[in-house]
Structure 1
Amino acid sequence: MMKKLYLLLSLLGFLGKAHAQTPTIAVFTTGMDKQPGYLPFYWDAKKGKVYLEIDKFETELLYYPSLASGIGSNDIGLDRGRLGNEHVVKFQRSGPKVLMVEPNYQYRAISTDPLERRAVEESFAQSVHWGFEVAAEEANHVLVDLTPFLMQDAVGAVQAISQTRQGSFRVDPSRCAMYLPNTKNFPQNTELEVTITLTGDSPGGYLRSVVPTANAVTMRQHHSFVQLPDAGYKPREFDPRIGYLGIEYFDYATPVSQPIMKRYIARHRLEKKDPSAAVSEAVKPIVYYLDPGTPEPIRSALLEGAAWWNQAFEAAGYRNAFQVKLLPPDADPMDIRYNVIQWVHRSTRGWSYGASIIDPRTGEILKGKVTLGSLRVRQDYLIAQGLVGNFESDTAHVGEMMQMSLDRLRQLAAHEVGHTLGLPHNYVASTQNQASVMDYPHMVAKLKGGRIDLSDAYTKEIGEYDKWSIRYGYQEFPKGTDEKKELNRIVQQMHAKGLTFLTDQDARPEGSASPTTHLWDNGANAVEELQRVIAVRSAVFRNFTEKKIPAGTPMTTLEEVFVPMYMFHRYQTEAAAKVLGGVNYSFALRGDGQPVLSPVPAAEQKKALNALLATLNPSFLAVPDAVLKLIPPRAYRYDPNPREVFKRHTGLVFDAMAPAEVAAGMALRLMLNPERGARLVQQKLFSPNQLGLSEVIDELVKQTYTPSGPNYEGEISRLVQRKVVEQLIQLAVDKNADGAVRAAAHNGIMKIKGLPTVPANSFTAWLIRQYEQNPDQVPLTTPQTAPDGQPIDPGQEWLQPDCDWTR
């Protein structure tokens, strides 16, 4: 009995001693620097650690990482200001451990029944982001060591470097530390920043070009903990007929007769001071702040372009509800309270982005973050230089070229801010009188009296579609209004104005079907605009002299000016190609009166075919002799960016055949796209008068396999012929292509084989024999890649793509 009592007392003594080993927060943090705010934290300067004080258990908050200082490579994509994904998290305690848990908001039950909600919660996995040991505690507060969590690669830099084949890297803890200047606390958010160093072997070229010692990549990563907004925000339903980004989730409490997938738009919270007034000031206007590191005159252009959005909010019934200001000196761009437009530098031209931090529960935008690449204005200026440059003096036409560049920056600022307001791309807008800044615009260069005029190169205000989209997303309706009915009315009124919406999925793929939805195009009719663009290109060629560069500039740099002029037709060619096998369609809803689906008329398709064939004409593809005599081998220490000039088979000397090879290969790839071919085949089945794939191939062979002389244009003609047969062989052996498409390509190859202009001892005949003997092993020529086009000005936005908006 005494032995048992002794053991019990010993156990109690051990537990008491163990409990005593967990100190109070006050004792543990003696000598540390306390930072009060949303989540109080302590800085232990001796150990280089940050301790987080937690008293908000089971309270949801928003966590997201970001990149405070980047790498400087557009190709890798690790840019200053890059945002990571948002996560709704909460802290849960279990004994001596605290877990940071992310609930699964992709699957919900919007119900008042707790058992119904629990059934869904327990059916799908959650995510635990980190586990912390309790270091100290008092009352209902605990202290945890946050440092290991902060020192991780939170933005996925290791993965980004690996995916771009720049080497295998890992975090080196010995070279990581807290970065105190940007570690701060605010009433609604806690901001912590660390210096992270990745080390690795065999770094790739992108890294070597931007990192001083490429096997040690040091950047600063930022961690934000943000108070989630109150329940006053009302989600607004998504309508596919008018573009909005947003959230979607499964609601398992939905009646079986209704869709289980719920879709809501992303938008800022905006309310009228007087909801009953047709026009009212906002309770809290949406304010964007521009990076003060942006130089003039770019700064003024960006401020002006971003402020265009106030025109759209005025149309939605608000007065001065959207504002743009310069970021105050005492403001921190990482603070959740500031929507920011950041000016970012890279080593090469690249995309700009519009991203947002949103509440994943509702779609409410909490912070807009625009990233603008600084080199794009230089590319705009270079294009303007090719179009109108004539340096009879050092300042000749500089004002005109700079004005076009600044006009583009205004449009760009509006575009990227539009993404942060919730809007995706609308690529059909360029065919509807440039109705949206959310399109990708090609500069409108007009011919006036044989001279190129850039005064209307870019729009100078918000588009009409943009006003309707802001009305849909932000207009406030009086109490008692049937909101769904009113939103539908907005869409119908927009359609009555001839405005529609189509986006990336309809425009980006080379084989996409819409004849109106393209990147970097203009005009209501893609074919007519191609013909107009070709006329502008011809005018540029006629006037292309050494005066395109200033006096004292190495002649070798004339090549960089010439390249975008030679390829000036590239995007309009892509637009015209989509007319072949094209299909007019809309995001129609049943009963809304929109046309659903119809093929492009045969006459339009034949017109497109003729325009495309004109881009394969040797006289079109030839570089003017005068230009060939102006471009010498590269000057010492003036090595070009290899992606900005034509590749060459001629060593140091400019390759006169390379531009033709690139342009012809591009046109043929577009015309003989396998998806486009399949649509041509099927359209012919249902409409015998429609243009079919066999007719396209027949006309292609007829126009390109003509007698050619021993001169420059004759050699281009023979190059095009080789490209035609190689593209047909590639299509015929494509096992993923439709069988009828492969058959049509095969028939085209056999037709070429029988032509009198194809001697039996010719290279073309030899290629065809290789195809007949072993089709899977035909030694096709590796196609020359075109110099970089996108961003044209410059700008997979995912790009990343795209896209611009990262959500």
Structure 2
Amino acid sequence: MSRASLARPLLLAVLMAGATGFAGAAPSAAGAAPAAAKSLADLTRALQPQPGFIDVWRDVDKGRVLLAVGALEQPFMLVSSLPYALGSNDVGLDRGQAGEMRMVHFERHGARLFLVQDNTNYTAVSQDRDERAAVRESFSNSVLWAGEILASDNDRYLVDFSSFLLADHHGIAGSLARTRQGTYAVDPARSAVLAAEAKAFPDNVELEALLTFAGPGQGEYVRQVAADPASLSMRQRISMVRLPRLEAAGGWHPRPYHPYSGGFDSSYFDYATPMSDSIDVHWQVRHRLEKTDPSATVSTVKKPIVYYVDRGAPEPIRSALIAGASWWASAFEKAGFKDAYRVELLPEGVDAQDIRYNVISWVHRATRGWSYGNALTDPRTGQILRGAVTLGSQRVRQDILIAESLLAPYGKNAPADKHQLAEEMALARVRQLAAHEVGHTLGFAHNFAASRMGNGSVMDYPHPILALNDKGEVDLSNAYGVGVGPWDDYIVNYIYGDFGGGQQEQAALAKLRAAARAAGLLYSSDQDDRAPGASHPDGLLWDFGPDTLKTWDQLGAVRQRALQTFSTAVLPDARQIGELEARLVPVYLLQRYQGEAVARLIGGGDFDYTSAGDVRAGAGRAGIRSTPADVQRQAINRLTDSLRAEYLTLPPNVLDVLTPPAAGYARNREYFATKMGSVFDALSIAETGAAQSTGFLLDPGRINRVAWQHARDSKQPGVQELLSVLLQKTWKRAPVPAALTGGEAVQLAADWVVVDSLLNLLDGGQLHPQVAAEVREAVRELAQWLQKNPAQGVAAGSRRQAAELIMAYLTDPRSVKLRPLPVVPPGAPI
């Protein structure tokens, strides 16, 4: 029997026997209950009762909440959230945001009741009490709160829980400190328990407080969003939740995690495993979904998964959210679950923060930012207790901006349907985004390789699919896919499909994995794909198409066309003319993500997420497969071409319309930087474009891999070849054509970025010594070439000073203050 099939029944047996199996539970304290002047009934007679999982009494007049705790030592879940928040994407305290889910229990010590957080990271899943105790005693629990027992009655203990509610359990002060907004702390005089909001239900308790944080009020982000940045008032919700039931045999059960499942995992260290097994135990994160007829191929379910859309989302966005989030229903149907998943508008009057509801929140912030989905889980099994989706409302406006910048729909002779196309593209993105973030709360991870299959998965980050039509015009009519893809069908079936249990289940899952690989379903996720120097050539954010180089060329043609047609027609009549600069950003940097994809081919190598068993069975591959040498050389040429003036120079039709922001407006982070006062800076934009490319090309991890691949296979390009091509395309290139407006100045701007990038690469200390020696020799050779080829005119000074800078750095790095590379305006999220 496999480790997975052994662990599950043992885990359930321990839990069903009344032990948590985790290290948090402590023995009851000895001693009699303290004498109370009044009974529990006496103290609560005049208060508003809320019977439930834990009985609650509202004391509205005194602004406090009383709890009657009856089940000591019994674990339950506790989580914070923010019904009212800060509104800053940069600080990250969003409306509806869920916090860390903790397993806790109450225990009594003398005259006080303690709330203790169990240490769920370390456990012994064993029927041996002493074995469990040994782990429990080895790792620290955490006492979160203690309060005086006001009265006791029939093994129930009455406490005033207000002091817990008035403390910062969501980590608000920590978030403010991490984002350099200053040191904030709860001001008790301006904070209050919202007793009237307290609610108790059979399986959960919902408690809320108004917290006011006092601080310096000097941080950029708090000054941007707060009414008074020295006084930040938010609401904190505390949800206390009964642990889910666990069946000893049959029914829903935890599913062992597999790295090719496409899902998230919930893990802990189990010190009761056999010596030959790993103590690191992982379960698939998933909702409880049970067929009413387990023997049927397709069956209705005991309790469907329902998501509710925030009533604050306006139309037509509201309908788009419901439609997109509903895409998952087809995948559940294919996995054998009939009417098992649906999306509805949150009923009027329902508390969106009530942990019983899976909610898609439409959240406003001062600036655009990321959306996300949180799956709140039972740490013992990975069962999802609640899905909480946060969608930033300004994302849709970025898509409108991109579409309008490409279509120029506001010209006098522009077809009327162009503006409609821009709105349709934005709504298509909203539908895809809703499906994506809900997917996370269903237990699904990112798959950044799915774009190789077209609309392969909503769990990828999609770039709008752009092309030129037969008339040479930008076409975005099919910018985003519709519905879930083949990878999504696979992960729903793998994570939720009902395959029985034990060896039967494991065999069925292995068969699914083999079939998915045979169908060419690639998988690559966050840890291997987000870094600028990542190596997997298929794990790409914001790309599209099966061929990276072909898509680069396709987007290059779209970019060129969009720049040629860029005019005031990209801007609605009511907008101030200075906003043209902001609309230029996504056009000029249109290939930014595909440029990263091209860079992945250089020193690139793909690999599988798999297990040793799948490799031995031929259902997975071990090792790394390098990108072919000819593809790497094509990629080097494409990326270095983006450092040439022919690519970086703006045409006159763009330069002639760009105007400084009007009175009452200012540039912000969405604009290119300028060193020319209030006017547009064509040199800064070229430097930014060059920094975008050199940042990918000269990433130290990539350079190290190029050196190793060449050392292992001399047919692969090496560091010397890569740097030779880079310098031939920039400093050593032929004269810039005179027809390019300001072309020579733009090329010099890019050349300086190349030198600064090379010196920063050497100065970063992340290259292997022998690789750094290769780079240093290439830089020295450049300095010598510049000295021997002094040039004429404006280029002469740059060549002389670049050579002097390089030699000074190589002689004594500490004597040179290196310039930081230009800051690239934000692109993601789109």
TM-score normalised over the length of structure 1:
0.94
Where does residue 108 of structure 2 map in the other structure?
93
Out of 766, 782, 803, the position equivalent to 1:765 is 803
| 1:180 CA displacement | 4.2
Q: Which moved more, 1:436-445 or 1:276-285?
A: 276-285
Residue type of the alignment partner of 1:754:
Q
CA 1:63/1:570 → structure 2, altered by over 3 Å: closer, same or farther? same
Which ranges of structure 2 fall in alignment gaps of 5 or more residues? Answer: 1-32
Where does residue 14 of structure 2 map in the other structure?
none
Out of 404, 408, 423, the position equivalent to 2:425 is 404
CA 1:615/1:146 → structure 2, altered by over 3 Å: closer, same or farther? same
Residue type of the alignment partner of 2:473:
R
Rounded to whole Å, the distance in 1 between the matches of 2:573 and 2:77 is 57
| 1:27 CA displacement | 1.6
Where does residue 564 of structure 2 map in the other structure?
542
CA 1:472/1:20 → structure 2, altered by over 3 Å: closer, same or farther? closer
Out of 755, 759, 763, the position equivalent to 1:729 is 759
Out of 144, 153, 157, the position equivalent to 1:142 is 157
Rounded to whole Å, the distance in 2 between the matches of 1:334 and 1:788 is 31
In 2, are the aligned partners of 1:707 and 1:757 still within 8 Å (CA)?
Answer: no
Residue type of the alignment partner of 1:366:
L
Residue deviations 1:389-435 (CA, integer Å, cap 9, x gap) = 32136955121000000000000000000000001111111112231
| 1:725 CA displacement | 1.7
Where does residue 199 of structure 1 map in the other structure?
214
Pairing of 1:10-29 with structure 2 (within 5 A): 21-29=36-44
Q: Secondary structure, in 3 states, of the residue corresponding to 1:85?
A: strand
Rounded to whole Å, the distance in 1 between the matches of 2:754 and 2:474 is 34
| 1:777 CA displacement | 3.2
Where does residue 68 of structure 1 map in the other structure?
83
Where does residue 823 of structure 2 map in the other structure?
785
| 1:733 CA displacement | 2.7
Pairing of 1:155-194 with structure 2 (within 5 A): 155-180=170-195, 182-194=197-209
- 2:648 is the counterpart of 1:632: no
Rounded to whole Å, the distance in 1 between the matches of 2:118 and 2:567 is 64
Q: Secondary structure, in 3 states, of the residue corresponding to 2:225?
A: coil
| 1:178 CA displacement | 1.8
Aligned residues: 774
Q: Secondary structure, in 3 states, of the residue corresponding to 2:555?
A: helix
In 1, are the aligned partners of 2:34 and 2:111 still within 8 Å (CA)?
Answer: no
| 1:21 CA displacement | 4.6
Residue deviations 1:279-326 (CA, integer Å, cap 9, x gap) = 111121111111111111001111000000011111211112110011
Rounded to whole Å, the distance in 2 between the matches of 1:27 and 1:732 is 75
Rounded to whole Å, the distance in 1 between the matches of 2:35 and 2:337 is 61
Rounded to whole Å, the distance in 2 between the matches of 1:33 and 1:777 is 73
Where does residue 469 of structure 1 map in the other structure?
491
| 1:691 CA displacement | 0.7
CA 1:511/1:758 → structure 2, altered by over 3 Å: closer, same or farther? farther
Pairing of 1:672-691 with structure 2 (within 5 A): 672-691=698-717
Where does residue 749 of structure 2 map in the other structure?
719
Residue type of the alignment partner of 2:802:
T
| 1:331 CA displacement | 2.0
TM-score normalised over the length of structure 2:
0.91
| 1:335 CA displacement | 2.0
Q: Secondary structure, in 3 states, of the residue corresponding to 1:99?
A: strand
CA 1:777/1:265 → structure 2, altered by over 3 Å: closer, same or farther? farther
Where does residue 773 of structure 2 map in the other structure?
743
CA 1:20/1:119 → structure 2, altered by over 3 Å: closer, same or farther? closer
Where does residue 616 of structure 2 map in the other structure?
591
In 1, are the aligned partners of 2:182 and 2:216 still within 8 Å (CA)?
Answer: yes
- 2:390 is the counterpart of 1:371: yes
Rounded to whole Å, the distance in 1 between the matches of 2:149 and 2:294 is 50
Where does residue 427 of structure 1 map in the other structure?
448
Rounded to whole Å, the distance in 2 between the matches of 1:23 and 1:588 is 63
Rounded to whole Å, the distance in 1 between the matches of 2:89 and 2:358 is 23
Rounded to whole Å, the distance in 1 between the matches of 2:561 and 2:720 is 35
Which ranges of structure 1 fall in alignment gaps of 5 or more residues? Answer: 1-17, 794-807
Residue type of the alignment partner of 1:319:
K
Residue type of the alignment partner of 1:397:
K
- 2:547 is the counterpart of 1:525: yes
CA 1:439/1:119 → structure 2, altered by over 3 Å: closer, same or farther? same
Q: Secondary structure, in 3 states, of the residue corresponding to 1:280?
A: coil
Residue type of the alignment partner of 1:463:
G
Out of 559, 576, 588, the position equivalent to 1:554 is 576
Rounded to whole Å, the distance in 2 between the matches of 1:748 and 1:296 is 58
Where does residue 223 of structure 2 map in the other structure?
208
CA 1:67/1:674 → structure 2, altered by over 3 Å: closer, same or farther? same
Rounded to whole Å, the distance in 2 between the matches of 1:220 and 1:461 is 37
- 2:682 is the counterpart of 1:656: yes
Where does residue 12 of structure 1 map in the other structure?
none
In 2, are the aligned partners of 1:708 and 1:717 still within 8 Å (CA)?
Answer: no
Residue type of the alignment partner of 1:530:
W
Where does residue 776 of structure 1 map in the other structure?
814
Q: Which moved more, 1:195-204 or 1:756-765?
A: 756-765
In 2, are the aligned partners of 1:100 and 1:129 still within 8 Å (CA)?
Answer: yes
In 2, are the aligned partners of 1:752 and 1:758 still within 8 Å (CA)?
Answer: no
Out of 239, 262, 282, the position equivalent to 1:224 is 239
Residue deviations 1:573-607 (CA, integer Å, cap 9, x gap) = 01110111001211233314233321111001001
Where does residue 29 of structure 2 map in the other structure?
none
Residue type of the alignment partner of 1:789:
G
Rounded to whole Å, the distance in 1 between the matches of 2:549 and 2:816 is 35
Q: Which moved more, 1:312-321 or 1:76-85?
A: 312-321
Where does residue 253 of structure 1 map in the other structure?
272
Rounded to whole Å, the distance in 1 between the matches of 2:348 and 2:159 is 33
Rounded to whole Å, the distance in 2 between the matches of 1:204 and 1:733 is 31
Where does residue 5 of structure 2 map in the other structure?
none
Out of 344, 350, 368, the position equivalent to 2:363 is 344
| 1:19 CA displacement | 5.8
| 1:481 CA displacement | 6.3
CA 1:21/1:272 → structure 2, altered by over 3 Å: closer, same or farther? closer
Q: Secondary structure, in 3 states, of the residue corresponding to 2:106?
A: strand
| 1:744 CA displacement | 1.6
Q: Which moved more, 1:564-573 or 1:765-774?
A: 765-774
Q: Secondary structure, in 3 states, of the residue corresponding to 1:191?
A: strand
Where does residue 318 of structure 1 map in the other structure?
337
| 1:789 CA displacement | 1.2
Out of 590, 597, 600, the position equivalent to 1:575 is 597
In 1, are the aligned partners of 2:96 and 2:361 still within 8 Å (CA)?
Answer: yes
Rounded to whole Å, the distance in 2 between the matches of 1:283 and 1:556 is 58
Where does residue 133 of structure 1 map in the other structure?
148
CA 1:480/1:613 → structure 2, altered by over 3 Å: closer, same or farther? closer
Where does residue 697 of structure 1 map in the other structure?
723
Residue type of the alignment partner of 1:687:
D
Rounded to whole Å, the distance in 1 between the matches of 2:645 and 2:94 is 43
Where does residue 619 of structure 1 map in the other structure?
646
Out of 164, 167, 191, the position equivalent to 1:152 is 167
Rounded to whole Å, the distance in 1 between the matches of 2:82 and 2:60 is 24
In 1, are the aligned partners of 2:212 and 2:233 still within 8 Å (CA)?
Answer: yes
Rounded to whole Å, the distance in 1 between the matches of 2:209 and 2:496 is 38
Residue deviations 1:551-592 (CA, integer Å, cap 9, x gap) = 343221111211111111111101110111001211233314
Residue type of the alignment partner of 2:301:
A
Identity of aligned residues (%): 39
Where does residue 417 of structure 1 map in the other structure?
438
- 2:301 is the counterpart of 1:282: yes
| 1:500 CA displacement | 2.2
| 1:510 CA displacement | 0.8
| 1:707 CA displacement | 4.4
| 1:142 CA displacement | 1.1
Rounded to whole Å, the distance in 2 between the matches of 1:568 and 1:592 is 43
Where does residue 515 of structure 1 map in the other structure?
537
